[in-house]
Chains A and B, each alone.
Chain A
Amino acid sequence: MGMIKKIINWSRLKSPWILHFNTGACNACDIEIIAALTPRYDLERFGVILKGTPRHADVLVCSGPVTRQIEDRLIRIYEQMAEPKFVVAVGTCACTGGVFGGCYNVKGGINSAIPVSAYIPGCPASPKAIIDGVVKLLKSLEESETKAAPAK
């Protein structure tokens, strides 16, 4: 069993498929996430690939503060993802609400709706910071290899 678990974990670390979801961002973090996936920065060299559906994704990459209207959708998408799942909050808004803190339609950071595994600050987070965050997340997964449940 231990061997199989090891193989599963290894393959998971080598191919973290991501789903990008804009929860009310200003598009700045979104274009930086796409920039991180395109040739100059090329996240694909870490096996990261952008998928279109939550059912294929291991990592949910969220940008922007959680607006009141999107909240239900965000929770629904999170629930549709298969275990183990991780959430990365990209940008200051996704971390805390940022400049939109206090707006009447904004609830706050991503963690006000769903649990978050990694926070990448910056307004917007630069592609370099995004790569750094993703690599750190992968490393922390490697370290917590023996633990069955993902860190909340």
Chain B
Amino acid sequence: MHNSKEFKIPIGPQHPALKEPESFSVALRGEKILGVDIRLGYNHRGIEKACEERSYVQDIYLIERICGICSHAHATAFIQAVEEIAHLAVPERALYIRTLVGELERVHSHLLWLGVAGHEIGFDTLLMYTWRDREIVMDILADLTGNRVNYGINSIGGVRRDISPAQVKDVLKAVDKLEERTKYYIEVATEETTIIKRLSGVGVLAYDDAIKLDAVGPTARASGVARDVRRDDPYAAYDKIQFNVITDTHSDVYGRTVVRVKELMESYGMIREILKKMPEGPIAIKAPPRRIPAGEAISRYEAPRGEDVHYVKSNGTEKPERVKVRAPTLANVQAVKHMLKDRFLADMPIVIAAIDPCFSCTDRSIAIEDGKSRKKNVMTWQELHDYSIKWHRERGFDPAEINRKFHKTMEGK
């Protein structure tokens, strides 16, 4: 009926298909998507600025709350940068514990994603199954760190909690159970006809486009780009652990599902190896410094969603001078626009969900650009100055007049 007519529909910030407040303006012809405009900022809280007003120790807690799902990723990326500036030698055992929590977090995040993906394609049974099994890893995280979601395990120069032999046994038992369940999910994801038919050929991102649009994490790996910070630029204890970078050549949502479930299996192997190789020793350096010497550092971390980059600049005080965060979703969000073009509107929820978006990581304050004149709504200092004079003059108050009077009285003296 509307085949010839072009129209726009707004999706969000409150919408049943979206879990986070995000606004998309979708241009449609019939059921086909012509273009998508993404409006960020509903979740913008101003964390980078707030970091500058808090001490490093307080910042760890604030940075953890950039995102509740990959909180350990952000906290570790930040702390790695701080430790690099301060030249702190972190004990081996602490690095292993960080890696362990990082991998457990990946397990919880990927299981979470599998459930959400199932929900988006109307397969709610999968959501209930995976979230039930996810509770196993949540219990382990709560046991190891004291909290289910924002773990707070990192401290400058180490970690806050040690792992007892009893806990190691619990983790191994849980991993066995999870591995068994994940084998079932691999079966579901690779053999279940409804999943294959619904996900194949949806949200295609070719190898070249993935490179051009700078996709990261499982989104890039599902397009055949073997990009993984854990292997390319090892941090924590990753250089001592064996694992494979999982890639897939399907380049669609199906490929992304396969990559994630296979990464779960890799993570289980890594968790076992970490527990086996974990050396004895202290878990943190003695007396971590409160003041960090002047300097700057960039730290990379492979979060469950992809590469997370933190930049920290210090000026020798207790507070950082600048903190900059590039969350993985910000890198992938451009690819979403590309994936959605000329696709059906009904594919939109699953294509957006397939990059595992985390908008609370991504939301920044933005400059609004006028679409027609390409004019940015950013004022230069001179423009602002002129505008203020004009504004006051319209209200019968002329600063220039006052200036003149002031100079006259000064000269008169």
Identify the A interface with B (CB < 8 A): 21-32, 34-35, 38-40, 52-54, 64-65, 67, 69-70, 73, 77, 98-100, 102-106, 123-124, 126
The reply to whether A30 and B21 contact each other, CB–CB distance below 8 Å, is: no
Question: Cβ of A98: which chain B residues have Cβ within 8 Å of it?
Answer: 65
Contact A99 B61 (CB under 8 A): yes
Whether the pair B66, A26 counts as a contact (CB closer than 8 A) is yes
Tell me whether B16 and A53 are in contact (CB under 8 A).
yes
**Mind listing 5 A-B residue pairs with CB under 8 Å?**
A27-B68, A28-B65, A40-B135, A77-B14, A104-B49
Q: Which residue of B lies closest to A93 (CB)?
A: B65
Q: Which of B88-96, B126-134, B168-176, B203-211 contacts A (4 or more CB under 8 A)?
A: B126-134
Q: Which residues of B contact A67 (CB under 8 A)?
A: 42-45
CA distance A66 to B132 in the complex (A): 31
Check if B67 is an interface residue, CB within 8 A of chain A: yes
Residue numbers in B under 8 Å from A69 (CB-CB): 41-42, 44
Q: Contact at B42–A73, with CB atoms within 8 Å? A: yes
Chain A residues contacting B365 (CB-CB under 8 Å) are 105
Q: Give the distance to chain B from A55, nearest Cβ to Cβ, in Å.
A: 12
Contact of B45 among A30, A31, A105 (CB under 8 A): A105
**CB-defined contacts of A77 to chain B, threshold 8 Å:** 14
Once the chains bind, are B21 and A27 in contact (CB under 8 Å)? no
- Contact between B20 and A102 (Cβ–Cβ < 8 Å)? no
Complex Cα distance A93/B280, Å? 39
Asked if A21 and B148 make an inter-chain contact with CB atoms under 8 angstroms apart, the answer reads no
With a cutoff of 8 Å between Cβ atoms, the chain B residues found around residue A73 in the complex are 13-14, 21, 42
Contacts A21-B14, A26-B150, A105-B365 aside, 11 further interface pairs with beta carbons under 8 A come to A27-B20, A28-B65, A28-B71, A28-B150, A30-B20, A39-B128, A54-B14, A67-B42, A67-B45, A73-B13, A103-B50
Tell me the interface secondary structure of chain A in the complex: loop
Which B residues are CB-close (under 8 A) to A52?
15-16
Tell me if B21 and A28 are in contact (CB < 8 A).
Answer: no
Q: How far is the CB of B233 from the nearest CB of chain A, in Å? A: 26
Quote the shortest CB–CB distance from B72 to chain A (angstroms): 12
Of all chain B residues, which has the CB nearest A123?
A: B150
Give the interface residue-count category, chain B. Answer: 35 or more
Contact of A24 among B43, B138, B149 (CB under 8 A): B43
Closest to B112 in A: A31
Residue B148 contacts which of A38, A70, A103, A124 (CB distance < 8 angstroms)? A124
| Interchain nearest-CB distance for A35 vs B (Å) | 7
Contact flag A24-B71 (CB < 8 Å), given A40-B132, A105-B46, A124-B150: no
B19: A residues at CB distance < 8 A: 22, 30
Chain B residues near A22: list those with CB within 8 A.
19-21, 43, 360
Q: Please, what's the 1-or-0 string for B10-27, where 1 marks a CB less than 8 Å from any CB in chain A?
A: 000111100111000000
Q: Is B213 an interface residue (CB 8 A)?
A: no
Q: Does B358 contact A (CB under 8 A)?
A: yes
How many Å from the CB of A44 to the closest CB on chain B?
Answer: 10
CA distance A23 to B69 in the complex (A): 17
What is the chain A residue whose CB lies nearest that of B132? A39
Given the complex of chains A and B, what is the CA–CA distance between A23 and B138 in angstroms?
Answer: 25
The chain A residue with its CB closest to the CB of B131 is A38
Contacts of A26 in B (CB 8 A): 65-68, 71, 150, 360
Q: Assess whether B47 is interfacial by the CB under 8 Å rule.
A: yes
User: Once the chains are docked, how many angstroms separate the CA of A69 from the CA of B43?
Assistant: 8
A74 to chain B, nearest CB (A): 9
For B69, list chain A residues within 8 Å (CB).
27-28, 31
> In the complex, what distance in Å separates the CA atom of A68 from the CA atom of B194?
42
Q: What's the Cα separation between A77 and B20 when bound, in Å?
A: 15
Query: What residue in chain A is nearest B65 (Cβ atoms)?
Result: A26
Cα of A102 to Cα of B115 in the assembled complex, Å: 35
* Docked-complex contact A34 and B42, CB < 8 angstroms: no
- Closest CB in chain A relative to B86 CB, distance in Å: 23
